[in-house]
Structure 1
Amino acid sequence: MKNFFILSLMASVLTISCKEAPKKEVEGPVKELSILEKIAYANGYENWKNVQELKFTFNVDRDTTHYERSWIWKPKANEVTAISGDESLTYNRSDMDSLAYEKNGGFINDKYWLMAPINILWDQNSISTEHSENVEAPISKKNMQKLTIVYGQEGGYTPGDAYDFYFTDDFMVKEWVFRKGNQEEPSMTTTWEDYQDKGGLKLAHMHQNEEGNFKLYFTGVEVN
């Protein structure tokens, strides 16, 4: 009788344990990232949400001439300060007069040079894309992946322009070609180099052409 009681008790405990055991959650399929997402995330896109302020100076050296202008961008407030020499202008990008609109064209250009690998993800609804593998890059002559993006004909400061991004298997851009109006011939071809981590963003600080007589670079980059 005693053995029967013990066996009955053990059976009851096992039954209760089985009933109370938590069910294992069934995970759904992992979403495959698009090529735009892979490039953006490789450059720290996941950290953009933490950025309160971005400062940078845009520099261009062409032969013996030098040009520069600086920017302070507060993305959460949509506020930009343009600084050129002793002059500065602060404006909100959601409410621009003609002067601010003109300045903003320069900001769009300079920001794109600094953050194009992330910017293309923001622009995904206004561009068409074509991805190729094992394509010879124009400057290094190395085989890389290539992403061509073409902007729509409506809206923006330079509608219809095209860019060819050449990047390695880690999705870091190494070279690019700008083609104005999606023309076949390159309008400009430069490197993407001197990547530095700023606030979790991986930003290329130097771009230069094959001849070395054109350099576009960034100084004073701060991410808060």
Structure 2
Amino acid sequence: MLFNCFVPLELTAKHFIMKKTFLPLLLALSIISCKNSEGGNSDAEMTSETTEVASSEAKDGIGNTIAMANGLDKFKDATEVEFTFNVKVNDTVRSSRHWKWNTKTNEISLTEGDITQSYTKNDSIPEDKVSIDQKFINDSYWLLFPYQLVWSDAKLTEEKEVAAPISGDTLTKLEVAYSADGGYTPGDTYDIYYGEDHMIEEWVYKAAGGDRQMATTWEDYEEFMGIPIAKMHKSEDGSFQLYFTDIVIK
């Protein structure tokens, strides 16, 4: 398992648009192996008393509602985003990447250790910058996933009164399914679980083909320029943690 969970982006002067092309949670999954798929509640174990299902491929509806609840209207005014993406497994930091992203010029810089690399995000990524682009796609996807419900080309299916996989709380589930055509890892699916405030509390990543999946929390929310960001994501047993530090949005 690696740490992917992402969609290639196409950046505009105001913000970036995530397309249906995807990069999964491979890194996270690689690091913690199949541990999470063996432990905790599976979809088969979840119960749903009264469900109401609605599917849509449109950019409005529930996808827009969740994105707006998570500050999409404010993010459109952002010009710079800075954050550090961290992964810890069994109390050992496995990854730490610091990003600076100018949303006006689409210039992106990555610092890992003592090395800083930069590139400009556009429709054509030079071959020697693809690996950096994949990391940025992955890391920013974790940071701003709610906006993908509007930006990306996914099919959304809502199911109400479903038991969340980690907490067991009764929440609404939204399946976010991507096409099997094109992209880094096409056909991936994300099940997000949220309450009446439309803030994500948990999610499950499912790789295409069903051979890998991982559930994590969405917690420790903090607002930056009025934009709520979940700074911590944990597996059920807490052995895996993905968290953000040094967040700046302006």
Question: Normalising TM by the smaller chain, what interval?
Answer: 0.7 to 0.9
Q: Name 2:167's counterpart in structure 1.
A: 140
Match of 1:205 among 210, 227, 231: 231
Identity level (%)? 39
Q: Name 1:80's counterpart in structure 2.
A: 108
- Cα distance in 2 for partners of 1:182, 1:222 equals 37
Match of 2:72 among 14, 35, 45: 45
Shift of 1:186: 5.8
Kindly indicate whether residue 221 of structure 2 is the aligned counterpart of residue 192 of structure 1.
Answer: no
Structure 2 residue ranges without an equivalent (≥5): 1-59
Check whether the contact 1:150–1:182 (CA below 8 A) recurs between aligned residues.
no
Q: Which runs of structure 2 are paired with 1:1-224 in the superposition (5 Å)?
A: 34-66=61-93, 67-94=95-122, 95-123=124-152, 126-181=153-208, 183=210, 187-224=213-250
User: Comparing both structures, which one devotes a greater share of its residues to helix?
Assistant: 1
Name the SS of the counterpart of 2:208 in structure 1.
Answer: helix
Shift of 1:64: 3.6
- Cα distance in 1 for partners of 2:204, 2:188 equals 11
Change (3 A) 1:48 1:102: same
- Cα distance in 2 for partners of 1:152, 1:177 equals 18
- Cα distance in 1 for partners of 2:180, 2:103 equals 26
Check whether the contact 1:164–1:178 (CA below 8 A) recurs between aligned residues.
yes
Structure 1 residue ranges without an equivalent (≥5): 1-32
Check whether the contact 1:81–1:89 (CA below 8 A) recurs between aligned residues.
yes
Check whether the contact 1:162–1:182 (CA below 8 A) recurs between aligned residues.
no
Name the SS of the counterpart of 1:108 in structure 2.
Answer: helix
Q: Name 1:8's counterpart in structure 2.
A: none
- Relative contact order higher in (CA < 8 Å, ≥ 6 apart): 2
Task: Spell out, residue by residue over 1:53-93, the C-alpha distance to the aligned partner (whole angstroms, 9 max, x if none).
Answer: 00000000001421211111112212211111111111111
- Over the aligned positions, Cα root-mean-square deviation in angstroms equals 1.3
Shift of 1:182: 5.3
Runs of 4+ in 1 over 4 A off after TM superposition: none
Name the SS of the counterpart of 1:177 in structure 2.
Answer: strand
| Count of residue correspondences | 189
- Cα distance in 1 for partners of 2:220, 2:183 equals 29
- Cα distance in 2 for partners of 1:191, 1:54 equals 23
